Amino acid sequence: MNGRGGQPTQGTSVAREPRIWLVLHPSDSDYEKRLRTTLGQKAADLGVKLITRRSRSRRMSVEGNRARPINILEPVDANELYRDLSINKCYVLSRGSVFVLHDPRRDPPTKRDCLPLQNFVHHRAVYRTLQDGVDIGAELRTMMTEAPSDCTSYRDPRILPLHVFDKKADGSRLNTEDGRSAFHRKYARSGGWQSEATGTWTPAHPGARHGTGPSGEALRIWNFTLPIGYHWDTHAGRQRRTIAATASVWKVEQRGYVNIYPDSHIRSGARAKQIWRPQR
């Protein structure tokens, strides 16, 4: 059913629960043990749930057949985080630089395969990199007064899972009108979006919202609620496509398609096959 002005009617869902996500170094330390304890106490005082995950050390290929160590958020954890911040209000903290893989199969990954965690959660969560000696309580209180997005439209590119849409897509300026206009000029096509990497993303008509992501409820981009089942029919067109999310990789044949949801969930359409899923 359509809302005023031909826009889809927004969905309904249960009240959101604020969450703090803490992403730690691969190896534990006395400082991180104290940090978890302090942050747990502060989160409880604020009535916020704390979720802790640990990154994993990997080697990133660089020029000259060299490699350097980096910290990666595991594909399963990255997938859980992205789905959570597409429903709940999330505040993400990390210890040092952490990356998410554009294509979780890459081993070793290159620099182009590695997406900084702050870019991964951009527009969906308030993010901080924790420095030694920071006042955790003051940091949390400040974070909880901030909003990562003022998205209010179905044509706002911030509802796209940009890490799936196109790893070359620059989301850094989408909180400005000029940045969104530039994104529209580059990617907008006939009411949908066009990516050189993944194909044509066409919003499903209200009557064709036949499926939902794993949560089964309406998704949100911070304060903007999408209708239950909102997704794009993503068509490969005349070439075969490989479409990678944080925890799945799909091969889509010519003229095939998949359904992609704002929380990055991918559902099989036609002439498409899942070719990778993570192992814990």
pLDDT in tens, 213-226: 666 788 999 999 99
Interhelix angle 136-143/30-46, rounded to 10 degrees, is 50
Q: Residue range 20-25: average pLDDT?
A: 97
For residue 114, the model assigns a pLDDT of 96
For residue 216, the model assigns a pLDDT of 76
As annotated, the residues of the chain forming the CATH 3.40.50 domain(s) are: 19-143
Label residue 63 by pLDDT band (50, 70, 90). Answer: confident
Q: Over 90: is that where the pLDDT of 238 sits?
A: yes
The answer to whether the beta carbons of residues 235 and 199 sit under 8 Å apart is yes
Q: Which of 202, 249, 237 lies closest to 79 in space, CA to CA?
A: 249
List, in sequence order, every beta strand (DSSP E) within the chain.
Answer: 19-24, 49-54, 56-62, 66-72, 90-95, 99-101, 114-116, 125-130, 188-189, 192-195, 199-203, 220-221, 224-225, 232-235, 241-244, 249-260, 266-276
**% the chain with pLDDT above 70:** 91
Label residue 4 by pLDDT band (50, 70, 90). Answer: very low
Of the listed ranges 77-86, 208-217, 265-274, the least confidently predicted one is 208-217
For residue 131, the model assigns a pLDDT of 84
For residue 208, the model assigns a pLDDT of 82
For residue 244, the model assigns a pLDDT of 98
Say if strands 66-72 and 125-130 run parallel, antiparallel, or are unpaired.
Answer: unpaired
Average pLDDT, the chain: 91
Q: How far apart are CA 204 and CA 50, in angstroms?
A: 35
Q: Over 80: is that where the pLDDT of 146 sits?
A: yes
Q: Residue range 238-265: average pLDDT?
A: 97
Label residue 133 by pLDDT band (50, 70, 90). Answer: confident
Q: Residue range 51-58: average pLDDT?
A: 96
Q: Residue range 239-257: average pLDDT?
A: 97
For residue 16, the model assigns a pLDDT of 76
For residue 280, the model assigns a pLDDT of 63
For residue 11, the model assigns a pLDDT of 45
Label residue 211 by pLDDT band (50, 70, 90). Answer: low
Label residue 212 by pLDDT band (50, 70, 90). Answer: low
Q: Residue range 55-81: average pLDDT?
A: 92
Label residue 207 by pLDDT band (50, 70, 90). Answer: confident
The domain made up of 19-143 is a member of CATH 3.40.50 = yes
Q: Residue range 14-36: average pLDDT?
A: 88
For residue 213, the model assigns a pLDDT of 63
Q: Residue range 9-13: average pLDDT?
A: 45
Label residue 18 by pLDDT band (50, 70, 90). Answer: very high
Q: How far apart are CA 5 and CA 193, in angstroms?
A: 21
